[in-house]
Amino acid sequence: MTLPELEAQREALLAALSADSVSFGDRSMRQRSPEQIRTALQQVDAEIAKAKAAAVATPRSRVIRVYTEKGF
């Protein structure tokens, strides 16, 4: 997942943490327990940290060696 997707998922988890249930029309859905949401939030935070670390990491330098013979 990309960094913006992970941050959007984190915001959705934070919103789910504050709401106990969601209803739309005649349907309603009960959210997971706060402990499960916090666990998922920690996992998303870890993935965000990995994505940020990968973006900041310095790229490896490449060495190009040229070998020539006869006239160069």
User: Can you tell me the distance from the alpha carbon of 36 to that of 30, in angstroms, rounded to the nearest whole number?
Assistant: 13
Q: Domains of the chain: which residue ranges?
A: 3-56
| pTM greater than 0.75 (yes/no) | no
User: Can you tell me the distance from the alpha carbon of 40 to that of 9, in angstroms, rounded to the nearest whole number?
Assistant: 10
Long-range contacts at 63-72 (CB < 8 A, ≥ 24 apart): none
**pLDDT tens digits, one per residue of 7-63:** 888 888 777 777 666 666 777 676 677 788 788 888 889 988 888 887 777 677 788
Q: What is the pLDDT of residue 54?
A: 79
